[in-house]
Structure 1
Amino acid sequence: MRTIRVLAAVCGLLALLLGLPFAGGSTPGAVDTAAATAVAHLGPGAARVLVLTTEPYVVFALGVLAIGLCLRAGRRFEAGLALAGPLLAILLNGWLLKPVYDRWKNGTLVYPSGHTVSLVAVLTVLVLVTRKAYVVVLAALALLAAAAGLVGMGYHYLTDVAGGTLFAIAVVLVTWSAPRPAPVPSTG
Structure 2
Amino acid sequence: MSGPAIRWWPVVGLSAVFLLGLVVGKRSTPLDDWFSTTGELHPDLGYLLFFTDPPVIAALLAVALLTALWRRRWRLAVAVVATPAVALVLMRVLKRVFGRTKGDDPETLAYPSGHVTVTVAVLGMVVIVVGARLWAVVAASVAAVLAAAGQSFTYHYFTDTIGALLLATSVVCVAAMAVGLDRCQPGCDVRHSTG
Aligned-pair distance for 1:150?
A: 1.3
**Which residue of structure 2 lines up, in the alignment, with residue 134 of structure 1?**
135
Consecutive unaligned residues of structure 1, counting only runs of 5 or more, are 184-188
Once the 2 structures are TM-superposed, how far is the Cα of residue 90 of structure 1 from its aligned partner? 0.6
- Say what the alpha-carbon RMSD is for the aligned residues: 1.9
Deviations 1:35-85 (A, max 9, x none): 334444422xx2332102212211111111111121222211111111111
Residue equivalent to 2:192: none
Partner of 2:22: 20
Q: Tell me the distance in 1 between the aligned counterparts of 2:19 and 2:128.
A: 26
CA contact (8 A) 2:49 2:147 kept: yes
Written as runs of structure 1 = structure 2, the 5 A alignment for 1:51-130 is 51-94=49-92, 96-106=93-103, 107=105, 108-130=108-130
* SS of equivalent residue, structure 1 residue 109: coil
- Cα deviation digits, residues 86-131 of structure 1 (max 9, x gap): 110011211x100001001022100000010010000111112211
Aligned residue runs from structure 1 range 140-159, under 5 A: 140-153=141-154, 155-159=155-159
In structure 2, give the amino acid aligned to 1:125.
Answer: M
Matches of 2:39 and 2:146 in 1, distance apart?
Answer: 11
In structure 2, relative to structure 1, the CA distance for the partners of 1:97 and 1:13 (3 Å cut) is same
Q: What's the TM-score, normalizing by structure 1?
A: 0.84
| Whole-angstrom distance in 1 between the partners of 2:20 and 2:85 | 22
Contact 2:101 2:110 in 1 (8 A): yes
Query: CA offset at residue 16 of structure 1?
Result: 1.6
**C-alpha distance in 1 between matches for 2:91 and 2:4:** 25
User: What residue is the counterpart of 1:186 in the other structure?
Assistant: none
Count of residue pairs the alignment pairs up: 175
Asked if 2 retains the 8 angstrom alpha-carbon contact of 1:11 and 1:169, the reply is yes
Contact 2:76 2:179 in 1 (8 A): no
Distance in 1 (CA, whole Å) between partners of 2:111 and 2:47 is: 22
Given that residues 116 and 164 in structure 1 are in contact (C-alpha distance below 8 angstroms), is that contact kept between their aligned partners in structure 2? Answer: yes
1:168 is the counterpart of 2:168: yes
How many Å separate the matches in 1 of 2:149 and 2:143? Answer: 10
**Identity fraction in percent:** 35
For residues 39 and 10 of structure 1, the distance between their equivalents in structure 2, rounded to whole angstroms, comes to 31
